[in-house]
Amino acid sequence: MSYRNIITIEPGKRGGKPCIRRMRITVYDVLGWLAAGMSHAEILDDFPELTEEDIRACLEFASDRERCLMIAVGEH
C-alpha cells in the first residue's frame, strides 16, 4: 500500500491540508483521533466513509513526513 494513492492535497480544500480520498477529512483529523485514544474501530464506526486502509495511509504519511523532516534537519 502507498499513501500516495489515498492522500490528496487540493489547494482550495481544508486550506490545502492533506485529505483522505478527496474528502474533507484530513490526515491531521485522523492522527488527532488516534492520539486522543480512539481505536481504529471507533474511528470507523464514527466515520463509516473511512476504511482501515485510510487510517494506515495517514500513519504512513505521517511517518514519511517525519522521516523527510529528520533528513532535512540532519543536512544542516
Long-range contacts of 15-18 (CB under 8 A, 24+ apart): 18/61
Mean pLDDT of 23-48: 98
Q: 13 vs 65, which has greater pLDDT?
A: 13
Q: Give residue limits of the domains in the chain.
A: 3-74
Mean pLDDT computed over every residue of the chain: 90
Q: Which CATH topology does 3-74 take?
A: Arc Repressor Mutant, subunit A (1.10.10)
pLDDT tens-digit profile of 58-74? Answer: 999 999 877 665 555 55
Kindly indicate the confidence band of residue 76, based on its pLDDT and cuts at 50, 70 and 90: low
Residue 65's pLDDT is what? 76
